[in-house]
Amino acid sequence: MLRPATSPLRPPVAAEGLDIPLALPRIDLALLGGFRFQCRPGCGLCCFAEPAVTAAERHQLVQIEPELEFVEGARGWAFLTSRPNGGACELLTDTRCRAHAARPTPCQQFPITVHVSDRAQASLVLSCPGIDAAGILRWSGGPPIPVGPRGLDAELDAADAEWVRSGTERELDRHAIRRGRSISLHDLAALRAGLHRELPWPVDEDFPSEEPPDPSDGLAGLPVTFVPGHGRVAFATHAGGWMLFELSEVGDEPGTLGVIPPPTATPEVTTQGEQLLRGYLHYLLERDDAVEGVLAQEAPEGSVEEGLAADLIRTAATVLSRASVLQRLDGRDGALDAADLWEGVRATDAEWLDRPTTGRRF
């Protein structure tokens, strides 16, 4: 089914303690347009997480698994626990959720995430290998003509339901967002348009890119991606390059796949590979979550435009580096093509979102 480019208009919600009712704005769905999604059997990547649960969801889950443990969070929220050594959520067995029918909202709406700032904007967690690359290729020349999303109906229904359920709270949060610097929506749109016209691009001096974290700080904090033939592969810093680990679902000691040096200069890419990376950078520029990160900097260096450009360059260098390392893990070398770059995007994207898989918004 083809959806309109915004979710249905939501009914007004009375804000407790305020004189005026707040009408919930529609969720902007433009960043979902043109993508296709089908969950990949045997993946389980999104379950290497500690999803947030409401009190009602918690109640349902303990009916199914009375021994289930939770981490207590602020404002009545709780989180499911994950296993040691970067293992998966306690409810995952053989890449299947034992409480699928009662899984919490972040799991129901994944790979959709909704970021709230000047608007409520749905975005896709491109780390999910169930999303195909065609959607991001539509962006290679800049923001494409908006179309409704396909194949995400159940996930969008869950996101809509969550928006209605917690909308008032989120609306109040929206006004409480603290920014290190302010910029009008008009100026922000003009700034984005300028960067779309002249997309920042990394040069040799931007390599080697940022290092992944040290594994001694905890395997759960490492960037992780799904690699066919290996499973969930995590990147960590190492004296000889980047150490790659295969994470175990049940939290056993992870398997080591080897140490691969990241590129020290801009890797060669094919024309299609460049188009895919361009598409991703254009997509990031329109993602409010990515822009908010720059606006929220408390001690910014340079202008907002310079901050955004620097972030895009840093991300592009990370994508290229991870694509290159994964290509070598696969026993190949040579120019990175679109498939390699898509692997690099998938290995990088979750780091740009405030709630990649866990729903830790509050």
Q: With binding defined as CB under 6 A, does residue 46 bind ligand SF4?
A: yes
Q: Which of 86, 111, 135, 223 binds ligand SF4 (CB under 6 A)?
A: 111
Least separation in angstroms between CB 100 and ligand SF4: 7
Residues in Cβ contact with 264 at an 8 Å cutoff, skipping those fewer than 6 apart:
207, 208
Report the site for ligand SF4 in 80-99 (rule: CB under 6 A): 80, 89, 91-92, 97, 99
Distance between CA atoms of 293 and 297, rounded to whole angstroms?
A: 7
358 in Cβ contact with 50 (< 8 Å) = yes
- The residues pairing with 241 across neighbouring beta strands, listed in sequence order, are 238
Least separation in angstroms between CB 91 and ligand SF4: 4
Quick one: 15 or 62, whose CB is closer to ligand SF4?
62
Binding-site size for ligand SF4 (CB under 6 A) equals 23
Q: Which of 13, 43, 62, 188 binds ligand SF4 (CB under 6 A)?
A: 43
Distance between CA atoms of 132 and 54, rounded to whole angstroms?
A: 31
Least separation in angstroms between CB 38 and ligand SF4: 8
Distance between CA atoms of 153 and 148, rounded to whole angstroms?
A: 11
261 in Cβ contact with 239 (< 8 Å) = no
Distance between CA atoms of 288 and 295, rounded to whole angstroms?
A: 10
- Closest C-alpha to 149, from 287, 263, 352, 6: 6
Distance between CA atoms of 65 and 152, rounded to whole angstroms?
A: 29
Least separation in angstroms between CB 357 and ligand SF4: 7
Least separation in angstroms between CB 242 and ligand SF4: 22
Least separation in angstroms between CB 356 and ligand SF4: 10
Quick one: 159 or 304, whose CB is closer to ligand SF4?
159
Quick one: 30 or 89, whose CB is closer to ligand SF4?
89
Category of 337 on φ-ψ map: left (φ > 0), alpha (ψ -120 to 50) or beta = beta
Q: With binding defined as CB under 6 A, does residue 135 bind ligand SF4?
A: no
Binding residues for ligand SF4, rule: CB under 6 A, are 39-40, 43-47, 49, 51, 80, 89, 91-92, 97, 99, 103-104, 107, 110-111, 128-130
